[in-house]
């Protein structure tokens, strides 16, 4: 099973999006999660650093500037999605990637507080 570390650049990017109210509270994550075509288009326009900033996990041992390096996407490359964070918490928890799970959980709590969800 792959192992992941937390991507600090992604955590910072997510915090900035939340503070700037660049989030979606209600979405169907399976419908809005970037597919391969959307990922390729984003990479072509923005490059690897910006692509990486949308992924909470870094795959241990994978080469930088490969899609295999980045995991746990949390937004649609424009805004953070609450359901993307929930999916990240769930998936990381399911596969026992505790550091990523906690990072996603903390961001979800920040988003909920900013949005007034109690």
Per-residue pLDDT tens over the stretch 17-51? 999 999 999 999 999 999 999 999 999 999 999 99
Rounded Cα distance between 90 and 20, Å, is 25
The pLDDT value recorded for residue 72 is: 98
| pLDDT confidence tier of residue 9, bands split at 50, 70 and 90 | very high
Spell out the domain ranges in the chain.
4-115
Radius of gyration for the alpha carbons in the chain, expressed in angstroms and rounded: 13
Report CA torsion sign: 46, 29, 117, 98: negative
Paired residues of 58 in beta bridges: 5, 70
Over the stretch 75-102, which tens digit does the pLDDT of each residue have?
999 999 999 999 999 999 999 999 999 9
22 Cβ contact list (under 8 Å, min separation 6): 78, 79, 80
pLDDT at residue 101 in the model: 98
Q: How far apart, in whole angstroms, are the C-alpha atoms of residue 98 and residue 29? A: 22
Q: Are 31 and 88 in contact (CB under 8 A)?
A: no
pLDDT value of residue 1 = 83
| Distance of alpha carbon 19 from alpha carbon 25, whole angstroms | 14
């Amino acid at each position: 099973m792959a192992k992941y570390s937390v991507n600090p650049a992604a955590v910072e990017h997510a915090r900035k999006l939340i503070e700037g109210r660049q989030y979606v509270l209600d979405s169907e994550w399976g419908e809005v999660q970037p597919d391969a075509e959307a990922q390729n288009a984003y990479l072509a326009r923005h490059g690897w650093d910006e692509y990486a900033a949308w992924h909470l996990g870094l795959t241990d041992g994978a080469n930088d500037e490969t899609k295999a390096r980045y995991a746990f996407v949390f937004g649609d490359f424009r805004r953070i999605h609450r359901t993307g964070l929930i999916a990240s918490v769930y998936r990381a928890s399911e596969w026992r990637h505790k550091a990523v799970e906690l990072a996603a959980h903390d961001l979800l709590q920040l988003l909920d507080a900013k949005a007034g969800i109690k």
